[in-house]
Amino acid sequence: MTPVLSADQVTETVEKYRAFITKNGGKTIHEDAWGLRKLAYPIQKKSTGFYHLIEWEAEGSAVLPFETEFRRDERILRFLTTAMDKHHIAYAESRRDKSNRKAEPKQEAEVVVEIPKKEPKEEPKEEPKKEPKKEPKEEITTTEDKA
C-alpha cells in the first residue's frame, strides 16, 4: 500500500479486503502486518510502502475479482497472489508457529544451579625471573707478520 496513508486508512484498506474475501465465500487463514518497509525499487516515485500479508482460502473463481479490485484501488502499489500447494501450506504453518513462539511471553521456569564447593587451590609458586646471562665478547686479534 502507498506510504502516504495514515494508520487508520491502512486499517480501513485491510478491512475492506478482508470483507471482500468473506463476501466471495472465502475465509482468512492468517494475517501478518509487516508495516512500513523500504521497497526493492521505486514504484510510482515512492521508495517505501506498507506491507500486509493475507493468507486466505476460497474457490478459484474468487481470485480474479479480488485482483481486479486491487488494480482499481489507488492505495495498492503492488500485489502478488499465489496458489499454495500442500508443501507450501505446511511450511507457512511452521513459520507461523515459530513466530508465535517468539511472541508468547516466556513462562517462568524453575532453574536449579548447582555450584560446586571450591577447595583452596595451591597457587603455583612463581619462579624468580632469570635474566639471560651475557656472554663476554671475545676479542679476536690478528697479527700480521711482515717479512
Q: How far, in Å, CA of 35 to CA of 104, rounded?
A: 20
Would you say 3 and 50 are in contact if contact means Cβ atoms under 8 Å apart? yes
Question: CB under 8 Å to 2, separation ≥6 — which residues?
Answer: 44, 46, 49, 50, 74, 75, 76, 77
On whether residue 43 sits in a domain, the answer given is: yes
Is 80 exceeded by the pLDDT of residue 47? yes
Q: What is the CATH number of the domain that holds 42?
A: 3.30.70.60
| pTM (two decimals) | 0.59
pLDDT digits (tens, 9 = 90+) for 75-107: 999 988 888 888 888 888 888 777 666 655 555
Residue length of the chain = 147
On whether residue 135 sits in a domain, the answer given is: no
On whether residue 130 sits in a domain, the answer given is: no
Where residue 19 falls among pLDDT bands split at 50, 70, 90?
A: very high
Region 25-47 average pLDDT: 89
Q: Which structural domain, as residue segments, surrounds residue 25?
A: 7-103
Torsion of CA 28, 32, 33, 39, to 10 degrees: -110
On whether residue 77 sits in a domain, the answer given is: yes
Q: How far, in Å, CA of 36 to CA of 17, rounded?
A: 19
On whether residue 109 sits in a domain, the answer given is: no
Question: CB under 8 Å to 43, separation ≥6 — which residues?
Answer: 49, 77, 78
H/E run at residue 34: strand 27-43
H/E run at residue 7: helix 7-23
Q: How many domains, the chain?
A: 1
Q: How far, in Å, CA of 138 to CA of 147, rounded?
A: 28
**Which residues face 51 on adjacent strands?**
35
* 14 vs 138 pLDDT, higher one: 14
